[in-house]
């Protein structure tokens, strides 16, 4: 059994879903500090051949708050219609717009009032659309008793508590986590490194690292599954 844990990101980019697709249990780390300027409440799409952020307005967001303590400013002017209008203007001529746009409406028109839950909902809904079968959990609900433990120890303890033997992490974690330290506790640690992924977009020059929304709009489910498997384990 393989396990991964990440902060809940709003419609995250493809490598996030490569990680989701590579494990049996995926945990949303919603009881860690909110990061301003990150991808918890915003992401990037392709708009007029350039990157553009779309952002869910949050109330009283602070890096001193946990992600699950940050609410959504649902009464903010123009939300969520302004986001959906931008999505329609951007992708109405994309080959899979008709399949994907209803997913966006389901997320942004939901009555969820917490950014951790909304971001997690976007990941769950996309995973369902892509037929990714994984057991999703929230760290605040299933592993609250591990809160406060050193990062590596918490991940090791959660992995072992689930009866798993392998923990998967994005490649950026190589600067933080020690494979030998994990192995000394009976847990194998692998880092997922995405390949250089490109696909057909509207513009000639490919723009990488956009939200999964861009991938969904331009690719079939079968093609996306091929992209999901383009990585190597370190």
Query: Distance (Å, rounded) from C-alpha 130 to C-alpha 219?
Result: 11
**Residue 137: which H helix or E strand, with range?**
strand 135-138
Rg (alpha carbons) of the chain, rounded to whole number:
18
pLDDT of residue 205: 87
Query: Distance (Å, rounded) from C-alpha 67 to C-alpha 8?
Result: 8
Quick one: 116 exposed, middle or buried, by C-beta within 10 A (0-12, 13-18, 19+)?
A: buried
Beta strands in the chain (DSSP E): 2-6, 25-28, 42-47, 50-55, 58-59, 71-72, 135-138, 166-170, 188-194, 231-233
**Residue with the two structure tokens 């991808």:** 39
Residue 148 DSSP code? T
Give the three-state DSSP class for 234: coil
Q: Please check whether residue 192 is in contact with residue 18, taking contact to mean a CB–CB distance below 8 angstroms.
A: yes
Give the number of other Cβ atoms within 10 Å of residue 60's Cβ: 9
pLDDT of residue 45: 97
Q: How big is the CA angle at 31 (ends 169 and 103), to the nearest 5 degrees?
A: 75
Predicted structure pTM score? 0.96
Q: How far apart are the first and last CA of the chain?
A: 18
Tokens describing residue 7: 């902060």
Q: What is the pLDDT along the chain (234 residues), one digit of tens a residue?
A: 999 999 999 999 999 999 999 999 999 999 999 998 899 999 999 998 899 999 999 987 788 899 999 999 977 789 999 999 999 999 999 999 999 999 999 999 999 999 999 999 999 999 999 999 999 999 999 999 999 999 999 999 999 999 999 999 999 999 999 999 999 999 999 999 999 999 999 877 899 999 999 999 999 999 999 999 999 999
């Amino acid at each position: 059994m393989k396990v991964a844990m990440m902060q809940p990101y709003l419609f995250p980019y493809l490598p996030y879903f490569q990680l989701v697709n590579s494990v049996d249990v995926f945990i949303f780390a919603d009881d860690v500090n909110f990061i301003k300027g990150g991808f918890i409440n915003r992401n990037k799409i392709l708009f007029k051949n350039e990157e553009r952020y779309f952002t869910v307005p949050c109330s009283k967001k602070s890096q001193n708050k946990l992600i699950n303590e940050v609410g959504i400013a649902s009464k903010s002017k123009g939300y969520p219609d302004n986001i959906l209008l931008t999505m329609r203007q951007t992708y109405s001529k994309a080959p899979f717009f008709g399949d994907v746009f209803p997913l966006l409406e389901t997320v942004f028109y939901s009555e969820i009032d917490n950014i951790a839950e909304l971001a997690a909902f976007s990941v769950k809904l996309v995973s369902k659309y892509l037929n990714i079968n994984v057991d999703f959990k929230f760290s605040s609900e299933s592993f609250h008793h591990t809160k406060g433990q050193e990062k590596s120890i918490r991940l090791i303890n959660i992995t072992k508590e689930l009866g798993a033997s392998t923990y998967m992490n994005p490649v950026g974690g190589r600067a933080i986590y020690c494979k030998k330290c994990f192995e000394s506790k009976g847990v194998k640690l692998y880092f997922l490194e995405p390949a250089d992924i490109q696909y057909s977009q509207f513009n000639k020059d490919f723009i990488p690292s956009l939200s999964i929304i861009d991938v969904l709009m331009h690719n079939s489910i079968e093609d996306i599954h091929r992209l999901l498997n383009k990585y190597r384990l370190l």
